[in-house]
Structures are given as structure tokens and as C-alpha cells.
């Protein structure tokens, strides 16, 4: 397997075709704690233009809690809230889930930018691929993943994350996420 450097990823995005209206959709998927959010922010900043950084959709804002986070409802929301507006030249707008209140609490509207990044477990789903200009897989040493998430989100998530790891593995296998990615990267 070949792992790519950031400059190669930027070049691949720049040279890809827009497949969602006039917008290039870049997805970043991989196990929790692998560095997807960090990569999304690095790409957004390093590829920003005079209008500012590109928009980033964080899937953890679209999950409806832990139990059915990777179910069909997530992909229906991505299609309705993110992809359909973009195809029609409109800004994506989505409800934001509050993990402490266990409910959606507000709408978040993102600017329509030439490149929109969708990052998080679920971004590489097979149903989204026809709209994706570049699909990125990020992985890290499996021994580090759980510790990274617990360090970031607190000890309170450890038990849920153990269950989540099994769910994400099933999702990755079912949708052949890693093998279908255009670009593979090693998270830092």
C-alpha cells in the first residue's frame, strides 16, 4: 500500500473533476482517532484561496447518538443536507447534534466553496461515491486509536468507543471503504 504526502493529496484534489455540481467533494474516512479531523483542517488551510478556507462537514455533528450512527439515516441526511444543496449551487446546511443533550439543537450553514470536505467515519460510504472527487483513507497504529479518542473526549467515552470500534470495522468491511479510497494516509 502506498501512503501519500500532503503535497500529493493537494495536487490530486486540484487535478480532480467536480462531481457534485461545480464542487469537488473530498471525503476523509478511517478509524476513530486516526487523524481525520486534523487532516481536514490542514487541507482546508493549505488549499484556501482568497475567499478563505474550504468548508468542512464533520460527521460527528450529523450522527444521532451512538446506537445508529452509521445507519441509513446518516447517509440520507448527508444526501439531503449536504450533497443535494451543493448539486444545486446552494450552501450545505445541517442540523448539529449535541452529544451532551442527546438531540439536535441548531442548524449549521457552511459556505459553498469549490472544495467541500466531508470527514468522519461514514464519509467513505458506497452510496456517496458517485459525488466524490477524492476519497481519502486515514489510519494509525491500532494501539493508539482508543487512547487518542479518550484523551480528546474524556474517559467517559471509553466503553462506547469499544463498541464503536466493532461498528466501524463492520461498516468499513461492508462498504469496502479502505480499498475504495483513492488516497491512503498515515495519521500522525
| H/E stretch holding 27 | strand 24-29
| H/E stretch holding 104 | strand 103-109
Residue 1 lies in a domain: no
pLDDT, position 41: 93
The domain spanning residue 22 has which CATH number? 3.40.50.300
Pairing of strands 24-29, 115-119: parallel
Is the predicted pLDDT of residue 2 greater than 60, yes or no? no
How many structural domains is the chain composed of?
A: 1
Residue from 65, 58, 63, 117 nearest 86 by CA: 117
Q: What percent helix, strand, coil does the chain show, rounded to 5? A: 45, 25, 35
Contacts of 143 (CB under 8 A, 6+ apart): none
H helix intervals, 54-141: 72-77, 84-87
For the stretch 84-105, pLDDT in tens is 999 999 999 999 999 889 999 9
Domain of residue 125: give its range: 6-186
Is the predicted pLDDT of residue 73 greater than 80, yes or no? yes
Burial 84-111 (b: 16+ CB within 10 A, else e): ebbeeeeebebbebeeeeeeeeeeeebe
Between CA 70 and CA 50 the distance in angstroms is 36
Whole-structure pTM value: 0.93
Give the pLDDT band of residue 1 (cuts 50, 70, 90): very low
Residue 146 lies in a domain: yes
Give the pLDDT band of residue 26 (cuts 50, 70, 90): very high
Amino acid at each position: 500500500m502506498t501512503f501519500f504526502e500532503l503535497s500529493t493529496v493537494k495536487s490530486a484534489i486540484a487535478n480532480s473533476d467536480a462531481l457534485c455540481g461545480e464542487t469537488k467533494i473530498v471525503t476523509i474516512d478511517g478509524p476513530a482517532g486516526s487523524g481525520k479531523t486534523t487532516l481536514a483542517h490542514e487541507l482546508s488551510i493549505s488549499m484556501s484561496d482568497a475567499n478563505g478556507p474550504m468548508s468542512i462537514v464533520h460527521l460527528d455533528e450529523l450522527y444521532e447518538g451512538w446506537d445508529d450512527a452509521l445507519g441509513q439515516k446518516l447517509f440520507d441526511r448527508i444526501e439531503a443536507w449536504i450533497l443535494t444543496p451543493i448539486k444545486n449551487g446552494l450552501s450545505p446546511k445541517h442540523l448539529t447534534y449535541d452529544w451532551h443533550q442527546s438531540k439536535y439543537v441548531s442548524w449549521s450553514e457552511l459556505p459553498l466553496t469549490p472544495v467541500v470536505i466531508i470527514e468522519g467515519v461514514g464519509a467513505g460510504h458506497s452510496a456517496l461515491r458517485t459525488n466524490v472527487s477524492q476519497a481519502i483513507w486515514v489510519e494509525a497504529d491500532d494501539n493508539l486509536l482508543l487512547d487518542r479518542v479518550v484523551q480528546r473526549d474524556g474517559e467517559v467515552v471509553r466503553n462506547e468507543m469499544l463498541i464503536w470500534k466493532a461498528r466501524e470495522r463492520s461498516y468499513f468491511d461492508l462498504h469496502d471503504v479502505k480499498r475504495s479510497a483513492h488516497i491512503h494516509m498515515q495519521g500522525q
